[in-house]
Structure 1
Amino acid sequence: MAEPLHEAEALHQQAKRPVSAALAGPYGHPFHPILVTVPIGAWVGSLVFDIASHLVDDPDFLARGAMWLIALGVIGALVAALVGFLDLFAIPPGTRAFRVALLHMTLNLLVTVAYAGNFWWRQAGEGPTGSVGAGMLALNAASLAVLGLSGYLGGKLAYHYGVRVAHESTQAEGFVPTHGRAGRHSG
């Protein structure tokens, strides 16, 4: 029974190390979680603008802003995907973590395609005018919901399986008292 546990620990340690520290971030500091904030923020902002376009007298600027936030999100998602793909290479195939990572990647790619389509739909003709159409708003909301599911899976990769997270012994270094007595807290 000890052999499968030893093999699992070796595979786990493999998933903690970057394939390329220069491209994916060094050990304990992956770039992917930093980069995903751009598309997430842009796409959440675009949904806020979409909804707000129905609440103001002159919605054109909000509709245009939402369209460009969607474009910014697509560009950011593509950059995050490149780095995330490198992290995928660190995960040993045939493991639960690898299957979760493939689903995470697939959902993210589908969301990015949906947002790219939403951008082109909005840009068709003379571009956005007036309040954002119900179909465009619904596609935005549905895409964001799927992104939330994918984010949950990304969290499972990092926080449950420890992909690209420093080993617990490395983490424990942050809890060694630097001065004074251990367990003593100052107010």
Structure 2
Amino acid sequence: MLTPASIAKHPIHPMLITIPIGLWIFSFACDLIRYFGGDSPNWPVVALYAMVGGIIGALLAALPGLIDLLSLPSGIRRIALLHMGINLTVVVLYVINAWWRMRGAGAGAIVLSAIAIGLLVVSGWLGGKMVHVHGVGVQTPPAPVR
């Protein structure tokens, strides 16, 4: 089932989601490095910048995701709405996290990042279910000619 937000039959949303996921995981890694003894005071700064970049990337990925969601049949739309709701929750958590860090938050910010990453895992599982079980964004090859 092809999706309308695509370039040359390749869906845009899965291409863009790698940006926020990668940046948020990198942000969490920077936090862990600092927490477990990284001496440089730059780790929290890098973590914050990666987090903000992830927020921007997530908002960019949300637009083609929404376009695709609106084209889905009702049976799959329920999964897609749950996927979207979790992703929006993650973005809100990271906005709060970034705001909190700019005001000097401590270890609580790391816990908030861990919760957000856990939610990302659930959302990714739902996204994978839409693709691998329901064929969203997958073009079925034509039947061979005999």
TM-score, with length taken from structure 2: 0.92
Larger radius of gyration: 1
Matches of residues 1-187 of structure 1 in structure 2 within 5 Å?
16-19=1-4, 24-26=5-7, 28-54=9-35, 55-58=37-40, 60-93=41-74, 95=75, 97-124=76-103, 133-167=106-140, 169-170=141-142
- How far, CA to CA, are the matches of 1:112 and 1:150 in structure 2? 12
Q: Aligned residues: percent identity?
A: 41
- How far, CA to CA, are the matches of 1:163 and 1:17 in structure 2? 7
Q: By how many angstroms is 1:164 displaced?
A: 1.3
Amino acid at match of 2:116: S
What is the CA deviation profile of residues 118-171 of structure 1, one whole-angstrom value per residue up to 9, with x for unaligned ones? Answer: 0111112xx5xxxx722000000110010110000000001110011111x24x
Amino acid at match of 1:18: T
Superposed structure 1 runs of 4+ greater than 2 Å apart: none
TM-score, with length taken from structure 1: 0.72
- How far, CA to CA, are the matches of 1:104 and 1:52 in structure 2? 30
RMSD, matched Cα: 1.6
Q: By how many angstroms is 1:92 displaced?
A: 1.5
- How far, CA to CA, are the matches of 1:53 and 1:79 in structure 2? 29
- How far, CA to CA, are the matches of 2:8 and 2:82 in structure 1? 24
Q: How many residues align?
A: 143
- How far, CA to CA, are the matches of 2:132 and 2:71 in structure 1? 16
Structure 1 unaligned segments of length 5 or more: list them: 1-15, 174-187
- How far, CA to CA, are the matches of 1:163 and 1:28 in structure 2? 12
**Do 1:122 and 1:136's aligned partners in 2 also have CA atoms closer than 8 Å?**
yes
Q: By how many angstroms is 1:57 displaced?
A: 2.1
Structure 2 unaligned segments of length 5 or more: list them: none
